[in-house]
A and B are shown apart, each in its own frame.
Chain A
Amino acid sequence: GIQVEQSPPDLILQEGANSTLRCNFSDSVNNLQWFHQNPWGQLINLFYIPSGTKQNGRLSATTVATERYSLLYISSSQTTDSGVYFCAAGTGTASKLTFGTGTRLQVTL
């Protein structure tokens, strides 16, 4: 099956800093999503982005499908951005997602 790798595994930022999280996947995908798991465990869908670029406030994401990677950009980070960011990819005709092991982000004052 498809392999999904995320980097870095851990990231510590000061409030206001920018960051880039990376997701590499081993096969062609028709489904690529980014999720944020907050410190209370809730998983929030950030982007559905199998290709191209999307922006939502301080967050944006880019997927270059031909090169099999996706990037999540966080600008002007805030303490509420802390948590774990997961990339998940899917291929084939179903919505079956394979998750990476996540990037744990801590934003400090």
Chain B
Amino acid sequence: EAQVTQNPRYLITVTGKKLTVTCSQNMNHEYMSWYRQDPGLGLRQIYYSMNVEVTDKGDVPEGYKVSRKEKRNFPLILESPSPNQTSLYFCASSLRGHQQDHHYEQYFGPGTRLTVT
């Protein structure tokens, strides 16, 4: 089954304890992205990746890191989580990221609900 998976689905942690949220897709997609969803703010992009070893900042990158060493995986790293990073996080992927290919449909993972105390 074609899908985007995220782990863990739920996480409660304490301020300053490094954590990683994994994201994996089995559709051979080039483009992957991380979003956070907060009440009243919709979804905001954290980081995105156009392909392996190519990443760039989205709208709210502060406090986050990413890497793209393999095409299928795009982990989100919080080096020193703070309470303002409590949120619902989504990973998404699409076949391509470039305009001329018109393969933009984005597919989302199930979400990771993170609470930082």
Contacts and interface: CB of A to CB of B under 8 A. Distances in A.
B105 A48 contact: yes
Interface residues on A, range: 20 to 34
Interface in B11-68: 31, 33, 35, 40-45, 48, 50, 56, 58-59
Interface in A82-109: 86, 88, 90, 92-102
A101 B41 contact: yes
B12 to A, nearest CB: 17
B106 A41 contact: no
A92 B99 CA distance: 8
A95 B95 CA distance: 10
Contacts of A90: 104
Interface in B81-101: 88, 90, 92, 94, 96-99
Contacts of B44: 99
B104 A95 contact: yes
Contacts of B90: 43
A52 interface: no
B107 A45 contact: yes
B97 A94 contact: yes
A1, A92, A95 interface centre (most CB from chain B within 10 Å): A95
Interface of A: 1, 30-31, 33, 35, 41-45, 48, 86, 88, 90, 92-102
